[in-house]
Structure 1
Amino acid sequence: MSKDLLRFATAGSVDDGKSTLVGRLLYDTKSVLADQIEAVQRASVDKGLSTPDLSLLVDGLRAEREQGITIDVAYRYFSTPTREFVLADTPGHVQYTRNTVTGASTAELAVLLVDARHGIVEQTRRHATVLALLRVPRVVLAINKIDLVGYDEETLQTIAKEFGALARSLGFADDAVQTIPVSALVGDNVVDRSPHTSWYEGPTLLEHLESVPVVGPEVAKPFRMPVQYVIRPRRADARSADAPRWGELHDYRGYAGQVAAGVVRPGDAVTVLPEGRATTVTHVDTADGPLDSAGAGRSVTIRLADDIDISRGDMLVATGSEPTVTTEIAATLCWLGDRPLRPGARLLLKHGTRTTPVMVGAPEARLDTETLTEVPAETLELNDIGRVTVRTADALPVDEYADVRATGSFLLIDPPSGNTVAAGLIGTPLALS
């Protein structure tokens, strides 16, 4: 029987214990091979530690081990009898805030760690703001290192109250935030309930991860599918004994891609954008055979009733719920480039499966992550979040990011180097309070 899949990310300030928490999850769910555990135990002994340093299960890069910080986004896969998980362990150092954008962009939940000794710090606020801008639907506030404050209930309540006010100002509903006191080092309330927190009646971290809903909001949105490839079988494909007759293959024309939002079924009315031609879905195919329906995240090949000129970069959308087709996009940029944004910069914009040249206007404002208000800005530096207008060479079908995450987001790429310099969120306001 197939199990649900939950995609979640970790975030938080440097040294809050994210890598140790991830290592603890993997260790206590028995998702680590014996030779990996032995290697960690040997390395821990060499470091003079009496207990295994579980962060070594995650910080795999040599530079990470030397500096004692997470640099790259580490994707981990594990499962329990209840559910499968894809975890993105993101860096906590301010220099690598941009990697948090990468890890959280596809997450259905984020685990935001704070050190019980320090409480909410500037990087906590910055990461919470990024999670809100990216519309991550659920957040776990994991108050870590509670053993170092004597498992004090008052400390937990003070931090939880402060974060609750911050979360509400960012637009999170009260039921979207779960506070859990943990000690990643000794395992309190991570997988097993701690005997030291009798005053805490909520779930352990794993219990919460196993119980939250996993049906993404994109399934309930209008149908969207960027076309990745047009399939026209070659004559050689008909040589196998179980292949259809060549006449049937010759007439086959399918449009392959991943459903970005909504659900598609045979008989649905769809429109091809940006051209605007309307037609009807006749078949939804996969390598395993036809489907009665396909939802967001499913890769399929769609056949249409009419012979329309469609190519990579076009988008199939639900007729009657079409996105806006435009060459001018007002958006919020999370600036990821090492060099500041130069007003008037000519870059490449990747939206869905289409890449087009663009010109980026001067920033209209920048988000002050401390006050959560807009402030004037002449440029955007690394990790800045600002509001700009982007003009595209080709017309693009776009949604508001608040409505459809997949088609309301884009990347900006530096043409000479090919580096991604910004993540764009269409129509997202800066002032979240």
Structure 2
Amino acid sequence: MGENTRDLLRFATAGSVDDGKSTLVGRLLYDTKSVLADQIEAVQRASVDKGLTTPDLSLLVDGLRAEREQGITIDVAYRYFGTPTREFVLADTPGHVQYTRNTVTGASTAELAVLLVDARNGVVEQTRRHAAVLALLRVPRLVLAINKIDLVDYDQAVLEAIAKDFAGLARSLGFADDAVVTIPVSALVGDNVVERSPHTPWYEGPTLLGHLESVPVTGPEADAPFRLPVQYVIRPRTAGDARSADASRWGDLHDYRGYAGQVASGTVRPGDEVVVLPGGHRTTVASVETADGPLAAAAAGRSVTILLTDDIDLSRGDVIAAADAPPRVTDELDATLCWLAEKPLRPGARLLLKHGTRTTQVIVGDLRDRLDTDTFALEQPAELAINDIGRVALRTADPLPVDDYADIRATGGFLLIDPPTGNTLAAGLVGDPLVLVDLPSRAPSTPGP
């Protein structure tokens, strides 16, 4: 496969403090030769100074993590690396309980999440908390990486007990059995990370990198109905302004009108019947254009310019959608929020809501319940504090074309913004995902060797 044709996998890491996430990320970067020689030399020198006989690969990422946890840099760090097979964008999230909200940021666009557990401790509260957030965000695929297997003497029984325990948790959270893969690893020595380990002859599954290279990259958005939030309306004033290389097909270039944006879900083709929302006008797609020329089809993730057969009053923030399966248009939302701000959320708050390419005013109504991420019980809150996940009622100033987040993540997600500062206050999910799964209520297990 050529260098320019490699596909891209976006994935996130999560796990409790000291489960070895930094070492695992460092191992992936080191073994895929995605770090510079001077960085490796610096890590080797620092490891020697610490009296270590092998490089401490966590040092490749721990510097930034330490800054982030002190509030010097913002929440999620993104790592970019690649192999001859695939390119990767890794969202590295912190493990402390007080940074649980950052898992939301890292997982919101992920097609897969790698959840680490320490083989000595098994599934702990933070594991269950992160798994619940990943289920809430509808991350389609999950890897349970049981780390530090060298510290339990590669004991198959211990590792299988952890895998069985987590499988029950994942199933209760709504993950299908084939969506979860368990891989025993040692990030420190490299067992089953990039190379297969001779210490686990009983394990017949893939290495972590092998799984990341082979897992399908198309998410549920590919099979969902077509949606395109309009980012920009293109109205060239001269022939030189036309985006289409063959714009003369449309007659007078002064009549050229294209709608640019990224396909959020589904596929669009010339001839498709679409509806423009919130206005409700129906029309047909005349052409799907790019800077390199027209396309026969454009799928989720592709940035395009769409031309329509009818001249419709359409502007930034509108959504072009499949006419036979449109989103609903409403100014009242039942939503789930992950509150990200230090200042708590209370009923009556007046904020801004950003949905796709549209921003509108919103008033917060009832706070219906809050998820206790330790017990998974729902309780009635007076407010939502930082890290809280809860269901709320919202009323927007303008009607919005929305889908339930469980159906289409792109048009089912939104942000709440502080009007004076522009800071993001919450990540929101349209619909009621908190009650779509059988959330367990049980104490975490801690299997030992």
Equivalent residue for 2:303, pick from 299, 302, 327: 299
Q: Residues 103-252 of structure 1: matches in 2 within 5 Å?
A: 103-235=106-238, 237=240, 248-252=252-256
**Aligned-partner Cα distance in 2 for 1:248–1:350:** 36
Q: Relative to structure 2, which stretch is displaced further, 250-259 or 56-65?
A: 56-65
Do the aligned residues in 1 keep the contact of 2:247 with 2:256 (CA within 8 Å)?
A: no
Normalised to the residue count of structure 1, the TM-score between the two structures is 0.95
Whether the 8 Å CA contact 1:373–1:430 is kept in 2: the answer is no
Task: Describe the SS at the equivalent of 2:347.
Answer: coil
Cα distance in structure 1, aligned partners of 2:139 and 2:337: 17
Q: Structure 2: which 5+ residue stretches go unaligned?
A: 439-449
**CA distance, structure 2, for counterparts of residue 37 and residue 65 of structure 1:** 22
1:360 to 360, 364, 388: 364
- Partner in structure 1 of residue 420 of structure 2: 416
Q: Which residue of structure 2 aligns with residue 425 of structure 1? A: 429
Of 95-104 and 322-331, deviating more is 95-104
Contact 1:75 1:88 in 2 (8 A): yes
Q: Which residue of 2 aligns with 1:257?
A: 261
Instruction: List per-residue Cα deviations over 1:102-147 (Å, max 9, x = no partner).
Output: 1111111100001111111111111000000000111100011111
Q: Gapped runs of 5+ residues in structure 1?
A: none
When the two structures are superposed, what TM-score results if normalisation uses the length of structure 2?
Answer: 0.91
Shift in Å at residue 259 of structure 1? Answer: 0.5
- Cα shift readout 1:330-359 (whole Å, capped 9, x = no counterpart): 011111111111211111100000000001
Aligned amino acid, residue 287 of structure 2: H
Query: Which stretch of structure 1 is more off in the superposition, 134-143 or 204-213?
Result: 204-213
Change (3 A) 1:72 1:38: farther
> How far did residue 229 of structure 1 move?
0.4
Contact between 2:333 and 2:430, CA under 8 Å: does it hold in 1? yes
Superposed displacement of residue 289, structure 1: 1.0
Mapped contact 1:59–1:65 kept (Cα < 8 A):
no
CA contact (8 A) 1:101 1:130 kept: yes
Matches within 5 A, 1:386-397: 386-397=390-401
**1:237 shift after superposition:** 3.0
Alignment of 1:283 with 2:287, yes or no, is yes
Contact 1:71/1:96 (<8 A) preserved: no
- Residues 26 and 234 from structure 1, CA distance in 2 versus in 1: closer, same or farther, beyond 3 angstroms? same
1:123 corresponds to which letter in structure 2? Q
Paired position in structure 2 for 1:399: 403
Quote the residue 1:89 is aligned against.
Answer: 92
Counterpart residue number, 1:374: 378
For residue 230 of structure 2, what is the amino acid of its counterpart? V
User: What letter is aligned with 1:223?
Assistant: F
Query: Is 1:270 matched with 2:274?
Result: yes
Q: Shift of the alpha carbon at 1:247? A: 6.8
- Which range is displaced more, 392-401 or 43-52? 43-52
Per-residue CA deviation, residues 312-341 of structure 1 (Å, 9 max, x unaligned), is 101100102111100000011111111111
Q: Give yes or no for contact 2:288–2:305 (8 Å, CA) kept in 1.
A: yes
In the aligned structure 1, how far is the partner of 2:97 from the partner of 2:69? 18
Give RMSD over aligned pairs.
2.2
How far residue 244 of structure 1 moved from its aligned partner, in angstroms, is: 6.5
Q: Give per-residue Cα distances to partners, 1:354-404, cap 9 Å, x unaligned.
A: 000001123111112233231221111111111111100000000011111
Q: Secondary structure at the match of 2:10?
A: strand
Q: Secondary structure at 1:361's aligned position in 2? A: strand
Q: What's the CA shift for 1:281?
A: 0.7
Instruction: Say whether 1:45 aligns with 2:48.
Output: yes
Of stretches 403-412 and 420-429 in structure 1, the one that deviates more from structure 2 is 420-429
User: How many residues of Structure 1 are paired with residues of Structure 2 in the alignment?
Assistant: 431
> What is the percentage of aligned positions where both structures have the same residue?
78
- 8 A contact 1:156–1:181 mirrored in 2: yes
- Aligned partners of 2:74, 2:356: CA distance in 1, in Å? 27
Q: 2:76 & 2:237 partners in 1: Cα distance?
A: 40
Say whether the 8 Å CA contact 2:65–2:94 is kept in structure 1. Answer: no
Q: Which amino acid aligns with 1:110?
A: A
**Cα distance per residue 1:276-305 (max 9 Å; x no partner):** 001111111111111111011100000111
2-structure distance, mates of 1:87, 1:19: 12
Q: What is the Cα deviation at residue 233 of structure 1?
A: 1.6
